[in-house]
Structure 1
Amino acid sequence: MIVVAMVELEGLSVLIVFMLVFLEGLIMDFKNSLRQICLFRIRIR
């Protein structure tokens, strides 16, 4: 039982880390796109 719980915890932690990395990537993309939009608007003016 303990081994199964350990394996589940490991899988869960890996999943959480993966989700965090994925979210971080999304946030970085969002910031980059925002910056590009700002630069684009400045260029238009």
Structure 2
Amino acid sequence: MVVLGLILLIIGLIANIPILTTIGAILLVVGLILNLVPVGGTRRRVY
């Protein structure tokens, strides 16, 4: 999710498309929050 957000953010900035920039920023922030906050327990699970 972080990578997709970063790609959309870069494409939105290069192509000057504000909706892609907004969606990319939202995905980037949500992806970082989900990576930092343990969901479903205190132990991180590696699959």
For CA contacts below 8 A with separation 6 or more, give which structure has more relative contact order.
2
TM-score (norm 2): 0.46
